[in-house]
A and B are shown apart, each in its own frame.
Chain A
Amino acid sequence: GQQVMQIPQYQHVQEGEDFTTYCNSSTTLSNIQWYKQRPGGHPVFLIQLVKSGEVKKQKRLTFQFGEAKKNSSLHITATQTTDVGTYFCAGPAGGTSYGKLTFGQGTILTVHP
C-alpha cells in the first residue's frame, strides 16, 4: 500500500534558525496536505498543495510540492518558540478511499529560546 515517509523525525533548533521537513510518497499524489500539532493538542490543517511544482507561502512558512508530485517540503524561516510542535504531511490514501489520508510519521520540532 501507499507509504508516506517523513524526515527528519526530530529537529532541535535555536530560535531564529531555519527548519525544513521533507515528505516522500511511494506513489504519485493528487494533493498533499500539511498539519501542525502543538504539544498536547490535535492536528490542525495548514495547507494543501495540488499542482506539480507548486509553492505556497504562509508568512514564514514555505510549502513546496515536487514536480513529480511524490514529494513535498515545509520550510520555516527564522523559527520562533511558537513554531514548536509536530508537523505532519498527509496524502490521499488512494484507490476508492475517498477522503482518507495517509499521514507521514511527523517531524517533532523543538525551538530553544
Chain B
Amino acid sequence: SAVISQKPSRDICQRGTSLTIQCQVDSQVTMMFWYRQQPGQSLTLIATANQGSEATYESGFVIDKFPISRPNLTFSTLTVSNMSPEDSSIYLCSALAPLGNEQFFGPGTRLTVL
C-alpha cells in the first residue's frame, strides 16, 4: 500500500485568495487524483494529475480555477484559485495502487473560505 500525506491539513482563507495543497506519496505511482468532498457527501473527482503533462479535468472543473501540477511520480499540488465561500470543502488526493485498481487516499485538507 501507499502512504499519502497532504499539507496543509486545514486552512481558513479569505475570499479572492488562492491556496495550494500539496500531496506526497511514499512511493512512485502512475496515477494521482484530486477529489472534493462536502461533509456527509460523496467524493467528486476534480481531475487526474498526469506526470509530465496537463491534468485531465472532469466536467465542471477548469484549469484556471484548479491548476494542478505533477512534477514527478510521487508529488502533486492542487491550487484553489480566487476562492469564494462555495469552495469551502475537504480536498483529497489519492493514488492508484501500483499493482491493482484500488486507490489510496491522503488525509484530506479541510478548507474554509470566509
Contacts and interface: CB of A to CB of B under 8 A. Distances in A.
Interface in A3-43: 31, 33, 41-43
Contacts of A45: 97, 102-104
Contact of B101 (A44, A99, A106): A99
Interface majority SS on B: helix, strand, loop or mixed? loop
A100 B100 contact: no
Interface residues of A, number: 21
Interface residues of B, number: 21
B103 A42 contact: no
A66 interface: no
Contact of A99 (B41, B96, B104): B96
Interface of A: 31, 33, 41-45, 48, 86, 88, 92-93, 98-101, 103-106, 108
